[in-house]
Structure 1
């Protein structure tokens, strides 16, 4: 597989360069090569060739990043779990993927029911970076996102999918990393944006700067930009909302590229942020997990390219080999400037949700185009295409929201909230915008006041912290629309969180 061979060559070529800065400690590509070799040697000894899906506990350390590459060189896929997420949820992820082996760099492991390889205690071995031959349709990773039934939803991505992503980004003349670049990696490794923030720097021989677990992200990013003079930033838009009070102190002429994704980028704050980065090209990327991170982008410029709809910057045009299609409820293409659901086709599309045929039937469809069968993914995002060929974002078609860059199914929060409630009452999870412009979660309960401690204890045992509602309102009677549905828009008016 082409990108895996390129990883090998890059690691060998840039042996003396720094590959990672973790908590102010630098590691070289030579250090990285040694860790990869140790881990793949142990994997080769202890894990049968037939076992392709390997669990990975995503600590912020050299071994965790080396584990990803080691597994790829061995022709295997990583199934990441966040150590801060409840073990019951992580165990369920491993059960859903029939994962038996777990790579864990923690000082001690909590995964007693699995064969654990403690990646920090492996003996030294000879450097071996030669990748095994791998078929393109083999899996490279499986990421689990929020699901509507209380179970997380698996998105498998193949080596072919990742290779197509690399080819598409390589084809963009405006974006070209070099070995001297210093690149921000702010994402948890269970989040798909992490793939581009470690993979592209590794392919270029650049250095990756991570955010320590437990650090205040926006403050640590501010510090890295200032002290380490980062040159490449990849962020969710919510981060610059938190940084906004510090804009007057930020002057970062070293930043060459700043890419956004994982949420709506608003025109007003994009202009203010652009003023902080006088020599920077800004890209507003778009793409769901199901389409291998990025599917296209809009090149923002504060003076010449500010196209937006309702203040949200355009998502632009599809990248190489990707097709965009805006459809109505019958999956028929709509005309220009008509809002519909955005659908994606191309070599980056996932093979389908993991062991979830019902969801696959809902989310994918095949269309005959010029005698060829083209498979599309329905994103759930409402968009329209304008006369210039640019696509503009108009909102969500369902009740998924982005919280801190993570995609969250509101139905999953409601599922777990109701599961432990002694009172059988209506509960609705909604997203609320705070005075910084970031989304927060609220839980509306159709009832007189009662103690919700048991409900929240249960939710915290089932879901990661970003899915736990920060605000609760008891409402005697929910507002309803004319067709009898709960009016979520009116419910938001009960949550005045900025007073």
Structure 2
């Protein structure tokens, strides 16, 4: 694929520049190349050509990133697991992919049943003036990421090289976003999370520097440190992280930042506005896209000086990227009219071939639909939205965040909007559904704060919403539970409510 050749050229062209800043240590592209070629040598000598899915234990180190590119240059795919996850969960991932070989820079003995390659011991002392990837992998797999599944088993999302080329082409065609070799780019994501792909791929294509977060660090504090001390210029973040930075907004003035991209969660207008004031020279983008569609499918540019589109206080997800098809559909997979809420469905070259060995799930979420004389395969995202008169898509909420209370359908995002609209305190608030002793759903509010008076909030809600939409359970929680990738863990949050 073209992007594979571009990666090879970039690594050679910028040999003397900083490729990674990891735990306070700088590594050049030449050092990166040394590791890549050493790992490639072991792949070629130890792994058969027909073994395409290779396990990768992810760490915050140069070897983990080098392993990814080494596998790509050998037309293989990486299957990442987090060493902090339960061992059984990681084994489930490798069992589903029939993995035999695992790359690991810090083997601890827990995966000795596999053929382990210790990447920390590998390097290539030979001539590194030439970097030649193998033949075009085309529709071969580039990676498989596993997310939580409804059956209790992790759910695999395979992404092909063609999917990735579609993403690169779409971003390249978008003029407002262009990285340069001088950029210093934040990479805050664990390598099992899809946003990590854009956080390392596009900087590497540009010969830019990548600044990572140590796995044991407090993410938001380390990001604060990197922005200030390393003068980062490109930030890729989830919105929940800057909620934690909010107490420091008065101290943050980062003129070095020129791009800040959000994704992986709803971006609230008030938060975007306050954060924008900390970044005087920055363009802010609200990207949208699920793992199943190779990270990004579209975006909305936040406007510092003019009005911004939002719905229930959430910034618009904007419009699709090049060669991406959006369809707002009803429960029968039929397109609804503009202005009508439905489920957002995505089609195009970036779409995964389907969930790994999961035909039942594939039947539920993928469908073919004829539009403008063309039959397109679509994926149902589970996100509710509507298309406005200008062609922008407005986020309404998750289909699975749409709950039934006493037979009424309730949008949890609407409750959160009204609470935030009146709340005097600047704290996180989440509306969720909880089950009472009779297994009936009731509404609850969780505030990430010490106790404070909320009578005025409840009075306001009673003025704005019908009785069945008024939360009946309240909890004040010092710190919300989060996933490894910074998202609020709503499932765990429910356990704080004792009904």
Which string of whole-angstrom CA distances, capped at 9 and with x for unpartnered residues, describes residues 207-231 of structure 1? 0000001100000000000000000
User: 1:285, CA displacement in angstroms?
Assistant: 0.2
CA contact (8 A) 1:270 1:302 kept: no
The 2-side partners of 1:138 and 1:12 are apart by 25
Judge conservation of contact 1:284–1:297 (CA < 8 Å) in 2.
Answer: yes
Per-residue deviation, 1:398: 1.7
**SS of residue paired to 1:110:** coil
Secondary structure of 2:249's counterpart equals: helix
Q: Is 1:81 aligned to residue 81 of structure 2?
A: yes
Distance (Å, rounded) in 1 between the aligned partners of 2:328 and 2:232: 37
How large is the RMSD of aligned CA atoms in angstroms? 2.3
Cα distance, 1:319 vs. partner?
0.4
Of 424, 427, 439, 1:436 maps to 427
TM-score normalised to the size of structure 1?
0.83
Structure 1 counterpart of 2:366 = 364
CA distance in 2, matches of 1:400, 1:44: 50
C-alpha distance in structure 2 between counterparts of 1:309 and 1:272, whole Å: 18
Whether the 8 Å CA contact 2:324–2:346 is kept in 1: the answer is yes
Deviates more, 1:44-53 or 1:391-400: 391-400
Q: Is the counterpart of residue 65 in structure 1 residue 44 in structure 2?
A: no
1:124 CA displacement: 3.5
* 1:445–1:23 distance in 2 versus 1, CA, 3 Å: farther
Map of 1:135-150 to 2, 5 A cutoff? 135-150=137-152
Counterpart in 2 of 1:392?
394
The separation in 1 between residues aligned to 2:271 and 2:197, in whole angstroms, is 26
Structure 1: stretches of 5+ with no match in the other structure = 402-429, 449-469, 471-488
Alignment of 1:411-450 (within 5 A): 436-437=427-428, 446=437
Which of 203, 206, 209 is the equivalent residue of 1:207? 209
In structure 2, the partner of 1:494 is: 473
Q: Distance in 1 between matches of 2:269 and 2:437?
A: 37
The answer (yes or no) to whether the contact 1:345–1:377 under 8 Å persists in 2 is yes
Closer/same/farther in 2, CA of residues 313 and 337 from structure 1, 3 Å limit = same
**Counterpart residue number, 2:272:** 270
Aligned to 2:91: 91
**Conserved 8 A contact 1:77-1:142:** yes
In structure 2, the partner of 1:116 is 116
- 1:131 alignment counterpart: 133
Following superposition, the deviation at residue 240 of structure 1 comes to 0.8
Distance 2:431 2:185 in 1: 28
SS across alignment from 2:124:
coil
Equivalent residue number for residue 101 of structure 2: 101
8 Å contact kept, 1:326–1:343: yes
* Map 1:340-379 → 2, pairs under 5 A: 340-379=342-381
Matched-pair contact (CA < 8 Å) for 1:321–1:347: yes
Q: Note closer, same or farther for the CA distance 1:438–1:295 as it changes in structure 2 (3 Å cut).
A: farther
Moved more, 370-379 or 279-288: 370-379
1:156–1:354 Cα contact (<8 Å) kept: yes
Contact kept? 2:34, 2:123, Cα under 8 Å: no
Which residue matches 1:9? 9
How far is 1:112 from its partner? 1.1
> 2:432 & 2:75 partners in 1: Cα distance?
40
What is the correspondence of 1:152-191 to structure 2 with a 5 Å cutoff? Answer: 152-191=154-193
Query: Which 10-residue stretch deviates more, 19-28 or 365-374?
Result: 365-374
User: Displacement, 1:110?
Assistant: 1.6
Aligned residues: 432
Q: Which residue of 2 aligns with 1:25?
A: 25
Distance in 1 between residues matched to 2:402 and 2:66, nearest whole Å: 33
With normalisation by structure 2, the TM-score equals: 0.83
Unaligned runs of 5+ in 2: 404-411, 421-425, 440-447, 449-467, 479-499
Partner of 1:283: 285
**With CA pairs under 8 Å and 6+ residues apart, which has the higher RCO, 1 or 2?**
1
CA distance in 1, matches of 2:157, 2:470: 32
1:222 and 2:224 aligned: yes
